[in-house]
Amino acid sequence: MRISEVAQRTGASAKAIRLYEARGLLPPVARHNRYRSYSEQDVAMVQLIRQALALGIGLAAVSRLRRADGQLDWPGVAALLERQHAQVVAERERLRGVERQLRQVQDGLRHWLQHGGGDCDLARHDCARAPA
């Protein structure tokens, strides 16, 4: 099938598919006349690449999952997914801390606006202690 059909079936642009091929994420694609001829396996690989990108996994990490014979290193895929999951969990915890800090600053500012006077130093969380 031609690149336009792969693009339509996968949601990837033709330019992205060519990039995946150039980076070695797709095996060399056969050509008929001057046109690339993609297989169902190529479509599946483009879908896998797009899913990896949607999960925050970059092309460089995906490219390292190809074995010398061109096949995917499935244990490597599993390990990559586990690492990505751990990063997401860590980021979620970091964001919870940011959310707590934001609430503290908001609460301090809200209190200062309602009862305040004097200067408000958000960096030191001093708004709540401003004179009433």
Q: Along the 132 residues of the chain, how does pLDDT read in single tens digits?
A: 999 999 999 999 999 999 999 998 988 888 888 888 999 999 999 999 999 999 999 999 999 998 888 788 999 999 999 999 999 999 999 999 999 999 998 988 888 888 866 666 666 656 655 444
User: Helices 14-22 and 40-54 sit at what angle, rounded to 10 degrees?
Assistant: 100
Q: Is the pTM of this model over 0.75?
A: no
Domain ranges of the chain: 1-65, 73-132
With residue 54 as reference, give the H or E element that holds it: helix 40-54
Name the CATH code of domain 1-65 (choices 2.60.40.2240, 1.10.1660.10, 2.60.40.150, 3.40.630.30): 1.10.1660.10
Pair 22, 3: CB distance under 8 Å: no
Pair 132, 115: CB distance under 8 Å: yes
Distance (Å, whole) CA 72 – CA 48: 11
